[in-house]
């Protein structure tokens, strides 16, 4: 494959409105896997606000057949990925372009491609230009009419955005369908699907009395796995109307599953396309985590219909305008679905754990960028944890600063002002501020907006001092952000007495006590807050619910943390206190280079949590799970991945040994649930704690009853009534290095070899297995040759290769550099097939500069080897060049 066009840096400050608008487009597809003919008839007008110039359309990997203006052929040039018409008329005109493309050879899965014999499209961010020449930018919005023609036997179902207006028979066993989408949209929201699919259907009536048809299309045989997605879709509709008064604006809303897909799912107007991994669920083949992920992705894409589609982005620098906001909305939805306060806290803890594992490392590594980036080479590289998850935290801070009702007012004003427009993050901020005059946000809007422009995770330091004589408690908060101007940081907090009492709060300047929680707004480099009439020395509980995406140093002692772990009324901070106790111990061992030895105080605290009569199983599981290795690495200037892993493994084993009787009790209490499988929060919590307990019981191979628990795990693996229990038991055997692991793996594969999503789990489990004398790494290399393995399917590539390179640091970072050689080989192999997925894998080296010897020079050599390849995609080139730049 040769690559034309040089990589250019696109800058946010260079934004120019388009020289032309395309108001309407009629597309006609003669679908054929090897040569699809596309005819596009566009209604074009000059943008009066922009100086005259040629019409330049984007196009990639397509062959133009003819170009007509007002029915007459016209002279044009094609120069690297653009089609230029120098003599476009001044008056409005009709532009017709006919071209071909080859869906069958489209392994990049961007544009029009085939998967399992059907046709699918993926146009975000810049895939539409791989279908036909167009102004492929989000601020050009057109009304689409789409005519599809295809073989009736192979492609009985023909779908596109909007409403079906006509369908019928053609000769040669072909048929056609015509779709019309009344809402103007950018080209990235265009979609079509053609294939032999079946649908689950549901008619629903919304509050306003309108009837809608919901459809979930999948391959024959997968229909029974669509019930959960359909339920999630209905729940999302109900929620968006109730919480934000946002109704479904279409008569028909379609969701389609495809097994070859670069990401989770895509919000095409009225025709969402999903990776089957984010859509199909059954108790026998999907875990609780799958059910929950499907619920939130279905909701996420549905919510985009307003936040993204009705109001879209002016340019791709504004990506977080739709993604951060929509992630926030799906997080809120999941919390509301979880309902009980403790289940809501579990959702929040999981979201924060994800943010810390993925976004914090990103924000301090080679790819660090602001929520609203200033430049990019390849926009696909900026669908990141920063744009999505940190973006969602920024939206959450608006809500914290203006309150829930104020946030809803802000949303209403945003849609009043911008419905049907392509806008910027500034427009969103302004709507929030204008809807909430006098609020903590509006008072300091410009400073708040630094969250969009400042990369890096702010560090907040908090120190308290208690004056027993004056009964005052002064809390001094300071922030550092790599020298950047101070951010606006909402610090939700409360004070707890050492005996566990919740203390009432009276800030200096207030007349009397009111309430026991406050949101302090830190917007200076340093600020002090004084509380009056504090009768006992308090322990501060800061950043409750993780009220800002920062790293907090609160200087709390073990005794303080134990107080919070036991008594804090904020469940998030109870969990956080336990994590901090673990983190302190792991960091001490890693820093001193001595083996980790857990102390009785910590072990006893964990025992109390595990045996606590009131705490939920879900919370116990989270509290007893140690901090992730990536997050631990973020606390260190120089990283030895093997030392971190050794400390975490030691801590795990000691918890397994010291609490063995308690793990047995936890397993017995939670291991069996009466009735059929339900993915409700209580059952999910019980299964997760049972799985953790089982893993702990199998982990200690020296225990007197080790063989008994291996046997029980194997039995449970064989007899499990659902995938959560089955995979949990299998993971316990594999991760525990049990003798029965290999036979269990074999059995699992034999049972599920016909189900690709389960085979993915089988590969992923082996890719993530703890390293033991190089056996995991050797196994992964051997699995590359397994008949079920292929790089062409992104889910499969991720299941094995990403599992090793991104989620198994101890197996990946090897003294002999073989992990890095493997990475370079796979990045190059993937780049020839699918640059987007290759670009993701390239990011495994984002944090190479912090590695200790011998890893750092070996990593550099591998990155240089990739960078030396002359015809890299812009995707991979941008990532490896940023990696190299971060080391100089
Ligand atoms: N907009 C999609 C979402 O977040 C993301 C997405 C799906 C995507 N497929 C893509 C982004 C391909 C880039 C390329 O819901
Ligand atoms: Zn999204």
Count the neighbouring beta carbons within 10 Å of the beta carbon of residue 353.
Answer: 18
The Å distance, Cα 816 to ligand 1 centre, comes to: 37
Give mean pLDDT, residues 377-396. Answer: 99
DSSP string, 457-478: --EEEEEEEEETTTTEEEEEEE
pLDDT of residue 7: 79
- Contacts of residue 33, defined as CB under 8 A and 6 or more positions apart, other chains included, come to 102, 103, 104, 114, 119
pLDDT of residue 51: 80
pLDDT band at 1; cut points 50, 70, 90: very low
Residue 323 beta carbon below 6 angstroms from any ligand 1 atom = yes
Using alpha carbons, list the distances in angstroms from residue 886 to 8, 414, 839, 849.
19, 39, 17, 7
pTM for the model stands at 0.98
The Å distance, Cα 76 to ligand 1 centre, comes to: 33
User: Using CA atoms, how far apart are residues 397 and 445, in angstroms rounded to an integer?
Assistant: 12
Residues around ion ligand 2, judged by CB within 5 A, are 323, 326
Query: Shortest CA distance to 324 belongs to which of 373, 256, 255?
Result: 373
Active-site entry in 60, 96, 126, 301: 301
Distance of CA 163 to the CA centre of its chain: 30
The Å distance, Cα 20 to ligand 1 centre, comes to: 26
Burial zone of 264 (CB within 10 Å; 0-12 exposed, 13-18 middle, 19+ buried): middle
Give catalytic status of residue 512 as yes or no.
no
3-state secondary structure of 120: strand
Residue 425 near residue 387, CB atoms below 8 Å: no
User: Using CA atoms, how far apart are residues 298 and 264, in angstroms rounded to an integer?
Assistant: 10
pLDDT band at 3; cut points 50, 70, 90: low
Give the β-pairing of 20-30 and 36-46: antiparallel
Residue ranges per domain, the chain? Answer: 10-195, 312-453, 459-548, 753-888
Q: The domain 459-548 belongs to what CATH superfamily?
A: Aminopeptidase N, middle-beta domain (2.60.40.1840)
Q: So what CATH class is 10-195? A: mainly beta
For residue 264, give the ligand 1 atom closest to its CA.
Answer: 7
Q: What whole-number percentage of the chain has pLDDT above 90? A: 98
Distance of CA 368 to the CA centre of its chain: 16
Give mean pLDDT, residues 640-664. Answer: 98
Residue 822 has pLDDT above 90, yes or no: yes
DSSP string, 195-231: ESEEEEEEEEE-TTS-EEEEEEEEETT-GGG-HHHHH
Using alpha carbons, list the distances in angstroms from residue 257 to 444, 797, 878.
45, 19, 31
Residue 684 in tokens: 């999910």
The 10s digit of each residue's pLDDT in 49-80 is 988 889 999 999 999 999 999 999 999 999 98
The 10s digit of each residue's pLDDT in 699-731 is 999 999 999 999 999 999 999 999 999 999 999
> Closest-lying ligand to the alpha carbon of 834?
1
Residue of the CA atom closest to atom 7 of ligand 1: 266
> Closest-lying ligand to the alpha carbon of 266?
1
The 10s digit of each residue's pLDDT in 753-776 is 999 999 999 999 999 999 999 999
Q: Do domains 10-195 and 459-548 have the same CATH topology?
A: yes
Q: The domain 753-888 belongs to what CATH superfamily?
A: Peptidase M1, alanyl aminopeptidase, C-terminal domain (1.25.50.10)
The 10s digit of each residue's pLDDT in 490-544 is 999 999 999 999 999 999 999 999 999 999 999 999 999 999 999 999 999 999 9
The 10s digit of each residue's pLDDT in 416-453 is 999 999 999 999 999 999 999 999 999 999 999 999 99
User: Using CA atoms, how far apart are residues 842 and 836, in angstroms rounded to an integer?
Assistant: 10
Give mean pLDDT, residues 341-348. Answer: 97
Residue 783 beta carbon below 6 angstroms from any ligand 1 atom = no
Residue 191 has pLDDT above 80, yes or no: yes
pLDDT of residue 207: 83
> Closest-lying ligand to the alpha carbon of 382?
1
The Å distance, Cα 332 to ligand 2 centre, comes to: 15
Range 312-453 has CATH code 3.40.720.10: no
């Amino acid at each position: 494959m040769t690559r034309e066009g040089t990589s250019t840096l696109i800058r946010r400050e260079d934004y120019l409105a388009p020289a032309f608008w395309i108001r309407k487009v009629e597309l006609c597809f003669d679908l054929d896997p090897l040569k699809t003919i596309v005819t596009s008839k566009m209604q074009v007008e000059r943008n009066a606000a922009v100086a005259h110039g040629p019409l330049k359309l984007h196009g990639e990997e397509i062959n133009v057949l003819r170009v007509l203006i007002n029915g007459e052929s016209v002279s044009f040039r094609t120069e690297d990925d653009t089609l230029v018409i120098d003599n476009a008329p001044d008056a409005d005109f009709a532009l017709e372009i006919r071209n071909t493309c080859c869906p069958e050879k489209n392994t990049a899965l961007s544009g029009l491609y085939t998967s399992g014999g059907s046709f699918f499209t993926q146009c975000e961010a810049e895939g539409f230009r791989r279908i036909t020449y167009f102004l492929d930018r989000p601020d050009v919005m057109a009304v689409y009419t789409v005519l599809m023609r295809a073989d009736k036997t192979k492609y009985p179902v023909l779908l596109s955005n909007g409403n079906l207006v006509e369908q019928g028979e053609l000769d040669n066993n072909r048929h056609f369908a015509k779709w019309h989408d009344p809402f103007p949209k950018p080209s990235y929201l265009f979609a079509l699907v053609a294939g032999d699919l079946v649908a689950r259907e549901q008619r629903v009536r919304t509050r306003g009395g309108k009837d809608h048809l919901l459809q979930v299309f999948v391959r024959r045989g997968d229909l029974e796995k669509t019930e959960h997605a359909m339920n999630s879709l209905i729940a999302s509709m109900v929620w968006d109307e109730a919480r934000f008064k946002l109704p479904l604006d279409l008569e028909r809303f379609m969701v389609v599953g495809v097994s070859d897909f670069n990401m989770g799912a895509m919000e095409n107007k009225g025709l969402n396309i999903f990776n089957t991994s984010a859509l199909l669920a059954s108790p026998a083949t999907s875990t609780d985590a799958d059910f929950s992920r499907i619920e939130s992705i279905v909701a996420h894409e549905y919510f985009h219909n307003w936040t993204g589609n009705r109001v879209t982005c002016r340019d791709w620098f504004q990506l977080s305008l739709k993604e951060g906001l929509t992630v926030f909305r799906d997080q809120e939805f999941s919390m509301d679905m979880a309902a009980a306060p403790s289940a809501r806290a579990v959702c929040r803890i999981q979201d924060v754990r994800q943010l810390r594992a993925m976004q914090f490392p990103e924000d301090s590594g080679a790819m660090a960028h602001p929520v609203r980036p200033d430049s990019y080479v390849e926009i696909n590289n900026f669908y990141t944890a920063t744009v999505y998850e940190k973006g969602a935290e920024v939206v959450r801070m608006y809500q914290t600063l203006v309150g829930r009702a104020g946030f809803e007012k802000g949303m209403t004003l945003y849609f009043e002002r911008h419905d049907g427009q392509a806008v910027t993050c500034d427009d969103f901020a302004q709507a929030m501020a204008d809807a909430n005059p006098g609020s903590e946000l509006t008072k300091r809007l410009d400073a708040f907006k630094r969250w969009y422009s400042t990369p890096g995770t702010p560090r907040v330091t908090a120190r308290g001092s208690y004056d027993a004589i004056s009964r005052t408690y002064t809390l001094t908060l300071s922030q550092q952000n790599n020298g950047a101007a101070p951010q606006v940081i909402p610090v939700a907090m409360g004070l707890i007495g050492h005996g566990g009492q919740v203390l009432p709060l009276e800030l200096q300047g207030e007349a009397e006590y009111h309430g026991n929680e406050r949101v302090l707004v830190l917007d200076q480099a340093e600020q002090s807050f004084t509380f009056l009439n504090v009768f006992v020395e308090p322990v501060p509980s800061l950043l409750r619910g993780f009220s800002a995406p920062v790293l907090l140093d609160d200087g709390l002692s073990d005794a303080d943390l134990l107080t919070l772990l036991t008594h804090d009324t904020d469940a998030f901070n109870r969990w956080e206190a336990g994590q901090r106790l673990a983190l302190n111990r792991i960091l001490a061992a890693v820093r001193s280079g001595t083996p980790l030895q857990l102390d009785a105080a910590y072990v006893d605290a964990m025992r109390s949590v595990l045996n606590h009569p009131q705490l939920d199983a879900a919370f116990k599981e989270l509290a007893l799970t140690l901090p992730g290795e990536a997050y631990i690495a973020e606390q260190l200037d120089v990283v030895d991945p093997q030392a971190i892993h050794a400390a975490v493994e030691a801590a795990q084993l000691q918890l397994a040994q010291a609490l063995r009787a308690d793990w047995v009790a936890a397993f017995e209490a939670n291991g069996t649930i009466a009735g059929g499988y339900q993915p409700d929060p209580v059952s999910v919590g019980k299964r997760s704690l049972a799985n953790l307990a089982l893993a702990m019981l199998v982990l200690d191979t020296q225990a007197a009853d080790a063989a008994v628990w291996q046997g029980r795990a194997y039995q449970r693996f064989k007899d499990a009534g659902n995938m959560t229990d089955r995979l949990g038991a299998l993971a316990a055997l594999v991760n525990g290095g049990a003798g029965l692991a290999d036979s269990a793996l074999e059995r699992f594969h034999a049972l599920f070899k016909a189900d690709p999503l389960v085979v993915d789990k089988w590969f992923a489990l082996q890719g993530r297995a703890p390293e033991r004398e190089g056996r995991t790494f050797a196994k992964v290399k051997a699995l590359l040759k397994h008949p079920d393995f292929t790089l062409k399917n992104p889910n499969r590539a991720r299941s094995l290769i990403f599992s090793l390179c991104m989620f198994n640091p101890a197996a990946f970072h090897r003294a002999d550099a073989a992990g890095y050689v493997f990475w370079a080989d796979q990045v190059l192999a993937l780049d020839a097939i699918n640059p987007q997925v290759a670009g993701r894998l390239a990011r495994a080296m984002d944090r190479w500069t912090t590695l200790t010897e011998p890893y750092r020079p070996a990593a550099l050599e591998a990155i240089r080897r990739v960078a030396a390849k002359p015809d890299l995609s812009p995707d991979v080139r941008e990532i490896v060049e940023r990696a190299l730049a971060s080391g100089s």
